[in-house]
Amino acid sequence: MYQPLLVGRPAFISFQTAAELRYGAMLRRWGPARMAKLDARVGAAEVVHSGPDLIAIYAQLRVDCQRAGHALAQREHDADRWIAATAIRLGIPLISHDRVFENAPRLTLESAHRG
């Protein structure tokens, strides 16, 4: 679904996304072969880990969303905020179909569902 948006671009994923993917696979009791495929897919991208810059962007994003009345400020979206902050830090669009990211301050969103 997202392949056309990804072709020719470097692949980055947030540590949060990597954790969510592994959680889902473990919850569904994926076997070794399927887990190896997941590891290969995640390994093909650069996993962006937290650090002082990302933490500052995450905190500012929550403040900006809170002030704008954007849903991304809510506690239930803590994980989504890390993902959005990662894209903002890297200065790249976030590719997602999750509507919570729409119109988030400073975030550029691309989706296969748009258009």
- Mind listing the pLDDT tens digit for each residue in 4-33? 676 777 889 999 999 999 999 999 999 999
Domain that holds residue 58: 50-115
3 belongs to a structural domain: no
Please report the pLDDT score of residue 115 as a whole number.
47
Please report the pLDDT score of residue 8 as a whole number.
77
Closest-CA residue to 49 (of 10, 18, 72): 18
Give the mean model confidence (pLDDT) for residues 47-58.
Answer: 97
22 belongs to a structural domain: yes
Bridge-based pairing state of the strands 46-48 and 12-14: parallel
Regarding whether 57 and 104 lie in a shared domain, the answer is yes
Torsion on CA atoms 115, 21, 93, 5, rounded to nearest 10? -50
| pTM of the shown model | 0.87
Give the mean model confidence (pLDDT) for residues 62-75.
Answer: 97
2 belongs to a structural domain: no
What six digits make up the tokens of 53?
Answer: 């810059």
Regarding whether 42 and 63 lie in a shared domain, the answer is no
Regarding whether 96 and 54 lie in a shared domain, the answer is yes
